């Protein structure tokens, strides 16, 4: 088994989520015949921003997760933090859109910040002790 099994599984799940988010953007583009930008279409704008937001937050989490896993972090803690991050990103997706529940979006960003902050602080702890 890989030394970075938790990061590998998390990255694969997030990779599949990225394909799903990208397919939503493509589907909305095809449906509304929009090749570039959003042409003022709210649904397309939301799809683009959900995908964009995903690509902004996921890399830093995966990088720090991989580094602390390689540094010997507690596996149970890593699984919990990875699960929190994946759930938070899914919650954020569910909270975006014209008819979406803002509570899901808020939970998604709070969960994302919590997971990124926790892996970052954990990394600092591991590096400095």
The pLDDT of residue 32 is 83
Structural domain that includes position 63: 5-128
Mean of the per-residue pLDDT values of the chain: 93
pLDDT higher than threshold 70 for residue 2: no
In this prediction, residues 62-72 reach a mean pLDDT of 97
Number of domains in the chain: 1
What's the whole-number mean pLDDT along residues 117-121?
A: 98
Say which CATH number the domain at 106 has.
1.20.120.550
Per-residue model confidence as pLDDT tens digits over 33-55: 888 888 888 888 888 999 999 99
With a cut of 80, say whether residue 1 has pLDDT above it: no
Phi, psi of 113 (to 5 degrees): -60, -40
């Amino acid at each position: 088994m890989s030394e970075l099994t938790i990061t590998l599984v998390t990255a694969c799940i997030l990779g599949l989520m990225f394909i799903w988010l990208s397919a939503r953007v493509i589907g909305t583009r095809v449906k509304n015949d929009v090749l570039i930008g959003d042409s003022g279409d709210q649904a397309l704008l939301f799809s683009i921003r959900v995908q964009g937001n995903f690509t902004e937050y996921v890399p830093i989490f995966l990088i720090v997760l991989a580094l602390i896993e390689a540094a010997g972090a507690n596996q149970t803690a890593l699984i919990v933090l990875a699960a929190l991050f994946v759930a938070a990103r899914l919650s954020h997706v569910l909270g975006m859109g014209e008819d979406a529940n803002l509570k899901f979006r808020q939970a998604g960003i709070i969960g994302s910040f919590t997971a990124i902050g926790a892996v970052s602080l954990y990394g600092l702890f591991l590096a400095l002790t």
